[in-house]
């Protein structure tokens, strides 16, 4: 319904998705593009959402967005808010999540925030628009917005977008459009492309020339399994000095600074004694944490993705990493094995650890280090640990998804020793 409010409406908080929470006479509504402290007017309002007309009086944390595409491009939600305030909000959200999980004492979090222009992984869509290719992100529930600038992307990736548009336009296999994932590896950009046509010899020639000209390590077709369409040289990346060969579309933390902050927090959380019993690492991926952990103890690294595990196996020779294939939701590592470890380290997917948590609770390992990218899953997975008597010793909150509502957290939990009865 139309809202003809004359008096400005105060924005009192941020919702979990980063939209401002405004206090209207009819109740609270979510208003994108606002920050706490704003006094605003709305053009329209439903039961739960409002549309911003203008800001009458700005809140103290409101800033000018650094990117002219903000509000159109779907990549950022909070560029109108000062970065220190965003980090403070994210840290507060994680602390509140852990309190809801049942931890009476939540330590003051160590906080880290990555720098702009540091993102090395991006998923983009591309569409034919007349004689041009539009390449970028979808606006909220809308069309693709051409990414002509970006305050997130690493300069090497941003510089690649213009020649990439020209190359995609020349591909016969691109009819209406497709999607492309780019990882910036140590060997250079690694591309995984999905197209709405089937690439032929001419497409492969164009891709090979593009790969050679622009130093693209590899271009692969999104298929099962992925097919290499062009490769200009060896494909490689390093985790803690160990050289790996990532599969196409491999998972990387979005920023190198964020990866380092996570790794440092995990390693710092390891127990100082008893590491001879070894570490169990769940959801090991290609070894983001594995090789750092292996400098302290033997690591039993479990991963369910075959391509990631093959990468980890190939790189683990001569290290103390022992990789194993395991679908941890269908076949979790059992409680008796977990109980014998010095520490259990897990970095589960966005949905959380699922069935694996029941075995951790039953096994009661002395130390659990949980890396989370989703506060909802974090609360669900850690609630039974709080109920089982685990103590939250250390908390690190990392903002590596700049200007978004996403947040990373590293929680170090220990189970206090019980005195034996006489």
Mean pLDDT on 15-37: 93
pLDDT of 266 higher than 50: yes
Same domain (yes/no): 186, 327: no
Report whether 49 contacts 80 (CB < 8 A). Answer: no
Q: Of 220, 244, 268, which one is at a domain's C-terminal end? A: 244
Per-residue model confidence as pLDDT tens digits over 325-359: 999 999 999 999 999 999 999 999 999 999 999 99
User: What separation in angstroms does the CA of 97 have from each of 93, 112, 328, 391, 411?
Assistant: 6, 18, 25, 15, 12
CB-based contacts of 419, cutoff 8 Å, min separation 6: none
Per-residue model confidence as pLDDT tens digits over 79-102: 999 999 999 999 999 999 999 999
- CATH code, domain with 110: 3.40.50.150
In the chain, the percentage of residues whose pLDDT exceeds 90 is 92
- Examine residue 4 and state whether it is found in any structural domain, yes or no: no
**Residue 422 pLDDT:** 45
Same domain (yes/no): 164, 271: no
pLDDT of 159 higher than 70: yes
**Residue 382 pLDDT:** 98
Q: Which residues are catalytic?
A: 373
Same domain (yes/no): 285, 364: yes
Q: Of 244, 274, 301, which one is at a domain's C-terminal end? A: 244
pLDDT of 6 higher than 70: no
Same domain (yes/no): 220, 305: no
Q: Both tokens of residue 258?
A: 């964020």
283 is in an annotated binding site: yes
CA 90/CA 15 separation, integer angstroms: 11
- Examine residue 127 and state whether it is found in any structural domain, yes or no: yes
Say if strands 188-195 and 177-185 run parallel, antiparallel, or are unpaired. Answer: antiparallel
Q: Of 216, 244, 272, which one is at a domain's C-terminal end? A: 244
- Examine residue 420 and state whether it is found in any structural domain, yes or no: no
- CATH code, domain with 200: 2.40.50.1070
418: confidence class by pLDDT, cuts 50, 70, 90: low
202: confidence class by pLDDT, cuts 50, 70, 90: very high
The range of the structural domain enclosing residue 378 comes to 83-116+251-414
**Residue 139 pLDDT:** 86
Q: Where are the alpha helices (DSSP H) in 302-352?
A: 306-315, 335-339
234: confidence class by pLDDT, cuts 50, 70, 90: very high
> Residue 421: what are its φ and ψ, rounded to 5°?
-70, 145
> Residue 146: what are its φ and ψ, rounded to 5°?
-65, 125
- Examine residue 74 and state whether it is found in any structural domain, yes or no: no
Nearest of 212, 127, 213, 119 to residue 157 by alpha carbon = 119
- Examine residue 131 and state whether it is found in any structural domain, yes or no: yes
Same domain (yes/no): 270, 401: yes
305 is in an annotated binding site: no
Same domain (yes/no): 127, 194: yes
User: What separation in angstroms does the CA of 11 have from each of 40, 263, 415?
Assistant: 7, 37, 41
Same domain (yes/no): 179, 96: no
pLDDT of 141 higher than 80: no
Start-to-end CA span in the chain (Å): 71
Same domain (yes/no): 291, 308: yes
Say if strands 218-221 and 188-195 run parallel, antiparallel, or are unpaired. Answer: parallel
- CATH code, domain with 19: 2.40.50.140
Per-residue model confidence as pLDDT tens digits over 267-317: 999 999 999 999 999 999 999 999 999 999 999 999 999 999 999 999 999
- Examine residue 76 and state whether it is found in any structural domain, yes or no: no
Same domain (yes/no): 306, 409: yes
Average pLDDT, the chain: 95
Mean pLDDT on 129-157: 93
- Examine residue 421 and state whether it is found in any structural domain, yes or no: no
- Examine residue 190 and state whether it is found in any structural domain, yes or no: yes
Same domain (yes/no): 46, 93: no
Same domain (yes/no): 106, 131: no
Q: How many domains does the chain have?
A: 3
Per-residue model confidence as pLDDT tens digits over 244-261: 999 999 999 999 999 999
Nearest of 137, 128, 212 to residue 170 by alpha carbon = 128
Same domain (yes/no): 240, 378: no
Task: Please list the residues that pair with 343 across neighbouring strands.
Answer: 279
């Amino acid at each position: 319904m139309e809202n003809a409010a004359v008096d400005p409406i105060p924005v009192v908080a941020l919702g979990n998705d980063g939209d401002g929470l405004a206090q209207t006479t009819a109740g609270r509504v979510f208003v994108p593009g606002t920050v706490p402290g704003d006094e605003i007017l709305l053009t329209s309002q439903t039961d739960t959402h409002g549309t911003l007309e203008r800001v009458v009086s700005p809140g103290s944390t409101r800033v000018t967005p650094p990117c002219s595409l903000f509000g159109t491009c779907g990549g950022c939600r909070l560029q109108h808010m000062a970065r220190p305030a965003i980090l403070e909000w994210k840290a507060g959200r994680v602390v509140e999540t852990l309190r809801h999980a049942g931890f009476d004492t939540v330590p003051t979090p160590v906080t880290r925030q990555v720098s702009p222009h540091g993102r090395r992984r991006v998923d983009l869509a591309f569409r034919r628009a007349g004689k041009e290719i539009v390449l970028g992100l979808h606006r909220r529930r809308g069309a693709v917005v051409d990414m002509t600038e970006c305050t997130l992307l690493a300069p090497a990736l941003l510089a690649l977008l213009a020649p990439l548009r020209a190359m995609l336009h020349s591909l016969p296999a691109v009819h209406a459009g497709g999607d492309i994932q780019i990882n910036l590896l140590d060997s250079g950009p690694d591309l995984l492309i999905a197209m709405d046509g089937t690439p032929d010899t001419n497409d492969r020639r164009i891709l090979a020339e593009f790969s050679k000209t622009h130093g693209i390590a590899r271009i692969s077709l999104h298929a099962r399994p992925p097919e290499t369409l062009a490769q200009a040289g060896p494909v490689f990346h390093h985790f803690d000095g160990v050289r790996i060969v990532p599969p196409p579309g491999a998972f990387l933390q979005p920023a190198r600074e964020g990866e380092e902050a996570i790794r440092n927090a995990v390693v710092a959380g390891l127990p100082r004694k008893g590491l001879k019993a070894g570490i169990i690492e769940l959801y090991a991926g290609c070894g983001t944490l594995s090789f750092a952990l292996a400098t302290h103890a033997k690591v039993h690294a479990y991963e369910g993705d075959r391509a990631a595990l093959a990468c980890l196996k190939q790189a683990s020779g001569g290290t103390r990493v022992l990789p194993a294939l395991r679908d941890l939701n269908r076949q979790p590592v059992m409680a008796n094995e977990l109980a014998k470890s010095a520490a259990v380290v897990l970095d589960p997917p966005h949905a959380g650890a699922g069935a694996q948590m029941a075995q951790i609770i039953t096994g009661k390992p002395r130390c659990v280090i949980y890396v989370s990218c989703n506060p909802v899953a974090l609360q669900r997975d850690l609630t039974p640990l709080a109920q089982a008597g685990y103590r939250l010793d250390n908390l690190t909150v990392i903002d590596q998804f700049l200007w978004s509502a996403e947040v990373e957290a590293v929680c170090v939990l220990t189970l206090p020793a019980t005195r034996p009865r006489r």
